[in-house]
Amino acid sequence: MIGQDNLITIQNLDVILDKKKILKDISFTLRKGEILGIFGKSGAGKSTCLKVLTSQLKPKKGKVIIAGHDAMKDKSKLISNIGYVPQFESENLYPEMSAMMNLFYFGRMYNIDDDLIIKRAKKYFSVLGLSEEVYSRPVKSLSGGEQKRVSIAIGLINNPEILILDEPTTGLDAHLKFEVLNYLKELNQKLNLSLILVTHDLETASICNSIVILHQGEVIDFGSVDSLVSTLPSNGHFLRLSIENLNEEIIAKIGGMPGVTYFFRTGREEIEVFLEDLDSQGQIFLDSLYQLGLKLNYINSERATFSHYFTIKIGVELNPEVAKVPMTCPTCGTELSQGARDILRKGKPTVCTVCYNKIEGVKLPDIVVPQHCPYCGIVLSEDVLYLLKTQKMAHCTICKQKIKIK
């Protein structure tokens, strides 16, 4: 795994805290000039991994090579090669000071000459889209997006080869989030700067060259977005259908059809369906829909996104509730499709397609959950409702705010 093109090499890394193994034999790399995203749910090990990368934690075993230096032995050299942007601007911004004075403060901590600080500040402010009018204004008077960009500029003041950002889009409105992501891509392209984004925001994957997926302290996947999506059924292609008068009964029938691997309701009359092999089973699936007498408003074949991949990989395949769902029909022994098992996992009954006997869903706790996001008011998806029903934290698919049933 160690190669000349790798700016960062993490190899067979273990981290133990309070006698508990937090990171378990993880390995991944970052090539020079690329953007790496480290994704995972809360508790997956992202923060611990970040602390290792910034030399705040010493691993029990394994290698951490950054820009040719051992992160555990050459800390002083490491500091000159990395920049760090914390999750919250309050951690590295002085609100009463101007944007430029903030950069002076941190630049002088690196013993950088004032003239060079000014030169670098103007360079980074320009790439980040901050006008000269912003330079002298107190940081507290700036917008959330402007404060985030000043925070990023501080992380760059030592002219690092690698910039590490912790949850770079946290707390930003949707338009500001994409604005910040665009600026990060600009930094990457114009400065040939390598970036590591540690985040749970799936939309951040849009600017990443490669992705690390952490789950319970382990790397379960590492690769490009396209290569990960290609591991989904039908090489990552699915059908998006709009069905008139779509209801739970219709969804249950669709989920139990032969070949249906995963399905997600995404709107009042819209559903996304993954088939085992779209090319060979697509027409059979459509014929089955028409035999049910369903009226289709439209049907499209589309390429899955990273959000689809993550939802399926983390939300379904690695969800412990899935293990409680029977693999076969308890009456006739026929193997159940993944679609039928997904219905059962959500606590709903389905019917065996061979013997037509009813199969009861997994019994879920009797908990009242909100049908709408308490922050933006959007109707919550079935997958979000399922997580809340099982007393797990979920994120709104629109505003990304955390929702938790107490």
Question: What CATH number belongs to 233-363?
Answer: 3.30.70.980
Rounded CA separation 151/133 (Å): 17
Around Cβ 317, how many Cβ atoms within 10 Å? 13
pLDDT in tens, 184-197: 898 899 888 899 99
- Outline where 192-277 has alpha helix (H): 225-229, 248-255
* pTM for this predicted structure: 0.75
pLDDT of residue 392: 67
Q: Where do the domains of the chain lie?
A: 6-223, 233-363, 364-406
Kindly state the percentage of the chain with pLDDT values over 90: 18
Q: Is the pLDDT of residue 203 over 90?
A: no
Around Cβ 203, how many Cβ atoms within 10 Å? 16
By the 10 Å C-beta count (0-12 exposed, 13-18 middle, 19+ buried), 358 is classed as exposed
Q: Is the pLDDT of residue 303 over 60?
A: yes
SS3 85: strand
First to last CA, the chain: 44
**Contact criterion met (CB below 8 Å) for 239 and 282:** yes
Matching fold, domains 6-223 and 233-363: no
Band of pLDDT at residue 364, cut at 50, 70 and 90: low
pLDDT in tens, 79-111: 778 888 888 877 778 888 888 898 888 888 888
Band of pLDDT at residue 254, cut at 50, 70 and 90: confident
What DSSP element (H or E) covers 190? helix 174-191
Kindly state the percentage of the chain with pLDDT values over 70: 89
Band of pLDDT at residue 368, cut at 50, 70 and 90: low
Query: Secondary structure of the chain: what % helix, strand, coil (to 5)?
Result: 35, 25, 35
Average pLDDT over residues 11-36: 89
What DSSP element (H or E) covers 299? strand 296-303
54 φ/ψ angles, rounded to the nearest 5 degrees: -100, 15
Q: Which CATH number, 3.40.50.12170, 3.40.50.12160, 3.40.50.450, 3.40.50.300, labels domain 6-223?
A: 3.40.50.300
Question: Across the beta sheet with 260-265, what order do the strands follow?
Answer: 260-265, 270-275, 237-243, 296-303
Tokens of 171: 């707390």
Rounded CA separation 78/64 (Å): 11
pLDDT in tens, 372-399: 777 666 777 766 776 777 666 677 766 6
